Amino acid sequence: MPHPSADASASVAHPEAVTTTLRVNGQACTLTLDPRASLLDTLRETLHLTGTKKGCDHGQCGACTVHMDGRRVNACLVLAVCAGGRDITTIEGLGTEASPHPLQTAFVEHDGYQCGYCTAGQIMSAAALLDEPCGDHDDDVRELMSGNICRCGAYSNIVAAIQHVRGNR
């Protein structure tokens, strides 16, 4: 699993720069950031964790879904400084190549992706769904996944992968 990598050159020379520590995928990263930087941009551009995708940058597509203290959030809507001291998990921290998360395996087995752009956000949202109250039916899963858009239309395969992991298939 790639670890966040930040160095002194990643710090921002901004007059109101703020120093904060993010705990990303189990690793503490102390950063000096522009207080306006989103968690998404910080993950991608400062920590070089590019699995989290920038889709709409308005919280409407779910491509940037990460976990913050175990709950799914759209990283584009969270200021990085507001995530200080919180546990952040990205797709890079969910599983490894040698030991993938069951959802990562199920997405491959059920072809729960097409172009793949939304896949990380879909998987992160689905992983959070596993710990949320959700009925057994496909419509229940669709409702809880409604914040994640797939422009390719792989929804039935995504639901099948989630239901497989949940034991409802």
Q: What is the pLDDT of residue 9?
A: 43
Q: Which CATH number fits domain 102-168: 3.40.50.2020, 1.10.150.120, 3.40.50.10330, 3.40.50.1820?
A: 1.10.150.120
Name residues of the chain where pLDDT drops below 70: 1-14, 169
Q: For domain 18-94, is the CATH number 3.10.20.30?
A: yes
pLDDT tens figures, 36-82: 999 999 999 999 999 999 999 999 999 999 999 999 999 999 999 99
Q: What is the pLDDT of residue 15?
A: 78
Give backbone dihedrals phi and psi of 120, rounded to 5 degrees, phi first. Answer: -60, -45
Q: What is the pLDDT of residue 114?
A: 87
Residue 65 contacts residue 121 (beta carbons within 8 Å):
yes
pTM of the complete model:
0.90
Q: What is the pLDDT of residue 150?
A: 95
Q: Give the domain ranges of the chain.
A: 18-94, 102-168
